[in-house]
Amino acid sequence: MQPFRDTFKHKGRRKQLIGELTEMGIQDQRILKAFDAIPRHYFLDLAFDEQAYTNMAFQIGSGQTISHPYTVAFQTELLELEKGMKVLEIGTGSGFQTAILCQLGAKVYSIERHQPLHLKAKQMLDFFKFNPSLFFGDGYKGNRVYAPYDRILVTCGAPDLPQTLLDQLKIGGIMIIPVGEGAEQKMLRIQKTDASNYSTQEFGTFKFVPMLERTVKNTK
């Protein structure tokens, strides 16, 4: 791991980003505080150090990208998270979103299908002394062992709504998932109303890396 330095410059840029997120409509102060507490540049290659607090996505290896800060904040706000909730995240990626969820007091289970990313995120989250359960495997399968979840957050674009994940959501629970087959997805907020029904709300169009299927066994 690179030696981390959180300088006045980084802190200043972070405050500026938080201002931008507020202007873009993020209102939950707990989320804005979490963005202040977690240095995003730690999750990025040194090459992106200067730009880490711009509202942009960057390469994180294995052909994947860290989500835009606004997207992370927006998805987190839609989750309506409360401390102690059990959250299943699909697409650990850099681990930045995972860290935000941990900072907000969630009990996080996160699955990543690229092993190098899974291992790097594990190191990062250990560094922060967070203790999420991280799995290398196929998010389509979710993780039945710890189900049902209060919240499910999908951070890659799904071609459709995966039934397995719906099955692992608590009744009354919320799933935030970008759904769409092309380059763009609709951000959906699914609330499970009973064992076999759910309601859906739409929250605009986003661009995510695709959720990919892979037959690997889910391991820690």
Query: Which lies closer to ligand SAH via its Cβ, residue 176 or residue 190?
Result: 176
d(CA 92, CA 112): 5
Backbone φ and ψ for 170, nearest 5 degrees, come out as: -65, 155
Structure tokens, 89: 């995240």
- Tokens 């062992």 map to which residue? 145
Query: Looking at 62, 67, 196, 199, which residue is catalytic?
Result: 67
User: Annotated catalytic, 199?
Assistant: no
Query: Which lies closer to ligand SAH via its Cβ, residue 172 or residue 214?
Result: 214
Q: How far is the CB of 42 from ligand SAH (least distance, A)?
A: 12
Residue type, 205: T
- Tokens 């979103």 map to which residue? 97
The three-point CA angle 83-185-176 to 5° equals: 15
Structure tokens, 1: 């791991």
Q: How far is the CB of 10 from ligand SAH (least distance, A)?
A: 18
Query: Which lies closer to ligand SAH via its Cβ, residue 148 or residue 209?
Result: 209
Q: How far is the CB of 125 from ligand SAH (least distance, A)?
A: 12
Q: How far is the CB of 89 from ligand SAH (least distance, A)?
A: 7
Backbone φ and ψ for 78, nearest 5 degrees, come out as: -65, -25
Nearest CA to 165 out of 184, 188, 182 is that of: 188
Query: Which lies closer to ligand SAH via its Cβ, residue 171 or residue 213?
Result: 213
Which residues are near ligand SAH by CB under 6 A? 64-67, 72, 90-91, 93-94, 96-97, 111-114, 117, 138-140, 155-156, 209, 211-212
| Element spanning 111, H or E | strand 107-112
Annotated catalytic residues are: 67
